[in-house]
Amino acid sequence: MSREEEIISLVSKNKKIEVNELAQLLKVSQVTIRKDLDKLEARGILHRQHGFARISNQDDINYRLAYNYELKRKIARKAAEIVNDGETVMIESGSTCTLLAEELAYNKNDITIITNSCFIASYIRKAESVNVVLIGGEYQKDSQVNVGPLVKKLISEFHVNKLFVGIDGFDERRGFTGSNITRCDTANTMMTAADKTIVLTDSSKFSQVGVVSEFAFEDIAMVFTDKGIAAEKVTFLKNKEISVITI
């Protein structure tokens, strides 16, 4: 685990922690910690305030990105292996999807990413070898994502082999679930423009049940997650002809 990842893990666990304490725990100087925090704050992952590093709004995409950051990064790296140089992919909003976009932007060549996430577009804006197509629509502030009828109109102009999506929950009766009806509807629309829809999620989501049905099992080709997923749920997904890749 890198020092930045350790910082994210500690701040995520404590919600708010002193810079001095971080330096002591990681056995580095306060100057080094402040430089690390500056980088993380510039990326929108953490916030600094009066000698503290903190994560505040749990609905904000920045909080979700920091939560289980190391695990999500490993999932993103594994998912990036199925994307080839020169490929165009579609990525819906979400924390693990953001880390996938970063992995593609900085470690693949000539990738085009079509997304409805303003956060993703901003997050990878400094990468030189990626082309970003941002789909416009009604802007949701917390998730920093565009949704609604305009997205539906624009999606019909595209076709890709792979769409990567996040989820908020799982239900053996209703499929993969979400928490926002408009965002779920938008993700479903994006699915119509892709040959394969691929879920990226940490295993905790398989213990949650979202409010809104988002994807039926037959809609999903692959799931990338971690080994914390229960064996019976892996078996269930495979019986639904969904490939499950765990890290």
Q: Does the pLDDT value for residue 63 go beyond 80?
A: no
3-state secondary structure of 37: helix
Helix (H/G/I), strand (E/B), else coil: 43: coil
Residues 6+ apart with CB under 8 A from 209: 169, 170, 171, 177
CATH number, domain with residue 177: 3.40.50.1360
7 and 90 assigned to the same domain: no
User: What is the tally of structural domains in the chain?
Assistant: 2
Residue 149 lies in a domain: yes
Most confident of 48-52, 55-59, 161-165: 161-165
Are 114 and 28 within one domain? no
Give residue 134's pLDDT band: very low, low, confident or very high (50, 70, 90).
very high
Bridge partners of 243? 222
Least confident of 49-53, 63-67, 85-89: 63-67
Q: What is the mean pLDDT of residues 208-226?
A: 96
pLDDT tops 90 at residue 65: no
* Residue 62 in domain: no
- 47-49 and 52-54 beta bridge pairing: antiparallel
Q: Give me the pLDDT at residue 56, please.
A: 60
Is residue 173 one of the residues assigned to a domain?
A: yes
As a whole number, mean pLDDT of residues 59-68 equals: 76
pLDDT tens digits for range 150-163? 998 999 999 999 99
- Tell me the average pLDDT across 84-112: 96
Domain co-membership, 142 together with 49: no
Range of the domain at 124: 68-246
Give the model's pLDDT for residue 202: 95
pLDDT in tens, 71-87: 999 999 999 999 999 99
Kindly tell me if the per-residue pLDDT of 57 is higher than 80: no
Paired tokens of 114: 């079509």
Compute the distance between CA of residue 33 and CA of residue 160 in angstroms, rounded to an integer. 42
CB atoms within 10 A of CB 1: 10
Could you report the per-residue pLDDT of 13-28, keeping only the tens digit for each? 888 899 999 999 999 9
* pLDDT, mean over the chain: 93
38 and 135 belong to one structural domain: no
> Of 14, 29, 56, which marks where a domain is finished?
56
DSSP bridge pairs for 198:
164, 222
Task: Identify the domain boundary among 56, 79, 94.
Answer: 56
pLDDT at 61 over 90: no
Q: Place 203 in a pLDDT band, splitting at 50, 70 and 90.
A: very high
Q: What is the pLDDT of residue 98?
A: 96
